[in-house]
Amino acid sequence: SQQGEEDPQALSIQEGENATMNCSYKTSINNLQWYRQNSGRGLVHLILIRSNEREKHSGRLRVTLDTSKKSSSLLITASRAADTASYFCAAGTQGGKLIFGQGTELSVKP
Amino acid sequence: EAGVAQSPRYKIIEKRQSVAFWCNPISGHATLYWYQQILGQGPKLLIQFQNNGVVDDSQLPKDRFSAERLKGVDSTLKIQPAKLEDSAVYLCASSLDLSPGNTIYFGEGSWLTVV
């Protein structure tokens, strides 16, 4: 399978703590995108990092990319109960396709 | 700006019946995707269109699944006959074009249960 892996599969933290999710992928990429999915909903785009970038910030999100290790991480700082969701990384390949990981289920307890 | 629209949101059918899902992408987006997401897994690409042409349908089970985008805007995904293992969320997505740096936007999904 071309799908990548995410680690951990599930993460439970307290409000105010930071949450770190890791992703590994197998294919060559042009970019890597992170998405959030609330229960019963579609995918919401969070951030895109290009293959020639190493780190990107957006609000409380920080994404890193290491193409030599084919891995990425998503850090959510000062988490809130509303951040409770599944988070997916997706490798953006030549031709505009996304190959998704299995996702990390984040639970933020108030 | 309106997002990717999908309908119906929910559908329950019996095995061997047929079902069709409709998608309207973001205005001006040339590239349209259908993904299948089985519960607990990440989405898997079924088919990718560029305007009204198929770019990649290598993962589409063509014996039962079909998709079209006749006028290069709306798209329909059909399953006939449905199997129990087709129970999943069918996500439509769109992007401006095939350029690798484009964000891909997803709809809310069509949730299919086959009983």
Residues forming a β-bridge with A10:
A105
CA distances from A14 to A6, A18, A19, A85, B65 (A): 21, 9, 10, 14, 44
At residue B73, does pLDDT exceed 50?
yes
The per-residue pLDDT of chain A, averaged, comes to 93
Quick check: B108 pLDDT over 50? yes
Minimal CA separation from B89 to chain A, in Å = 9
Q: Which residue of B has its CA nearest to A101?
A: B42
- CB hemisphere CA count around B16 (13 angstroms): 0
The answer to whether the CB of B26 falls within 8 A of the CB of B33 is: no
- A45-61 pLDDT, tens digit each: 999 999 999 999 999 99
Asked whether the predicted pLDDT for residue B17 surpasses 80, the reply is: yes
Q: Is the pLDDT of residue B4 over 80?
A: yes
A9's CB contacts (< 8 A; 6+ apart) are: A102, A103, A104, A105
The pLDDT value given to residue B70: 85
Within 8 A of B104 by CB-CB distance, chain A residues are: 33, 45, 90, 92, 96, 98
pLDDT at B1 over 80: no
Contact A74, A56 (CB under 8 A): no
Tokens read off for A82:
């509303």
3-state SS assignment for residue A12? strand
Place of tokens 């639970």: A107
pLDDT-derived band at A1 (thresholds 50, 70, 90) equals very low
**Inter-chain contact A96–B105, Cβ cutoff 8 Å?**
no
**Residue A2 pLDDT greater than 60, yes or no:** no
Mean pLDDT score, B108-112: 96
Chain B nearest CA to A92, separation (Å):
7
B45 at A interface, C-beta within 8 A: yes
Give the nearest partner residue to B48 out of A33, A97, A100, using CB atoms: A97
End-to-end CA distance of chain B: 37
> How would DSSP label each residue in B22-85?
EEE--TT--EEEEEEE-TTS--EEEEEEETTEEEE-TTS-TTTEEEE-TTSS-EEEEESS--GG
Tell me which chain A residues have a C-beta less than 8 angstroms from the C-beta of B107.
42
Cβ atoms within 10 Å, residue B110: 24
- Better pLDDT: B76 or B2: B76
Q: Which residues contact A13 (CB under 8 A, 6 or more apart)?
A: A19, A79, A106, A107, A108, A109
Are A96 and B97 inside 8 Å of each other by CB? yes
Strand partners, B75: B23
Using the Cβ of B94 and the Cβ atoms of chain A, whether some distance falls under 8 Å is answered with no
Residue type, A80: R
Length of chain B as a residue count:
115
Average pLDDT over residues B1-5: 85
Q: Which residues of A touch B (CB under 8 A)?
A: 3, 30-31, 33, 35, 40-45, 48, 50, 88, 90, 92-103
Q: Are A73 and A22 in contact (CB under 8 A)?
A: yes
| R_g of chain A, CA atoms, integer Å | 13
pLDDT at B49 over 70: yes
Contact between chains at B42 and A31 (C-beta distance less than 8 A):
no
